Amino acid sequence: MLFAVPVGLFSAIYMAEYARPSVRATAKPLLEILAGIPTIVYGFFALVTVGPFLRDISAELNGLVTGDYTSFIQAQSVLTAGLVMGIMLIPFVSSLSDDIITQVPRAMRDGSLGLGATRSETIKRVILPAALPGIVGALLLTASRAVGETMIVVLAAGVAARLQLNPFEPMTTVTVKIVNQLTGDLEFTSPQTLVAFALGITLFVITLCLNIYALYIVRKYREQYE
């Protein structure tokens, strides 16, 4: 998320405020292709490219600093999964915020520009505050997407069920746990399956809350200008 939000937001701002129509017409569909790529492909990308790359880079860094060429980032790590998920979320953030920024009324923009503010000042001081609730709603929607994301994490973050905060090592998420519990040959009523269902409910409730709150914010914001 730390990665997706700035990139997505800035591209949205640029698209909505600066880009010429021709640039917008080419760049926007291209970014939306990113949204159309199935998550399993991102998972494979993480597994084959990003994971080993991060491992090697960390080995090099570690070697430069301490002289010991062992990598401190493992190939399957939370960092890998997070980074790739960030790539996946860029188009979501950017197209949602783009919509919201373009909804800010023209008059507010003209007023600020007319008072002599530069465009970036207009964006920072007028448009962003006006669009903030909508953007927050969009970000919450994106966050609920990230929580429910499965395939990238299955392939990229590993299955080690450890409670820790070090993002450089393998960890697991709720969705991965469900997949692992349920892909074997098990009796339907066995405790393992029931655990998976409990996890599913938890996941559902979390995302539902995020979604309802986000939709509420987005709706409330929309009504202001219509």
CB of 56 to other proteins, least distance (A): 15
Name which of 11 and 74 has its Cβ closer to other proteins: 11
Name which of 30 and 165 has its Cβ closer to other proteins: 30
CB of 221 to other proteins, least distance (A): 15
DSSP secondary structure letter of residue 79: H
- How far does CA 146 lie from the centroid of its chain? 6
Name which of 62 and 103 has its Cβ closer to other proteins: 103
CB of 95 to other proteins, least distance (A): 11
Radius of gyration of the chain (CA): 21
DSSP secondary structure letter of residue 116: T
CB of 109 closer than 8 Å to CB of 186:
no
CB of 27 to other proteins, least distance (A): 6
CA distances from 69 to 58, 62, 65, 76 (A): 9, 6, 9, 18
CA distances from 225 to 106, 131, 153, 175, 215 (A): 11, 11, 39, 39, 16
CB of 8 to other proteins, least distance (A): 7
Name which of 105 and 129 has its Cβ closer to other proteins: 129
Name which of 16 and 78 has its Cβ closer to other proteins: 16
In the numeric block, which tokens belong to residue 212? 């309802």
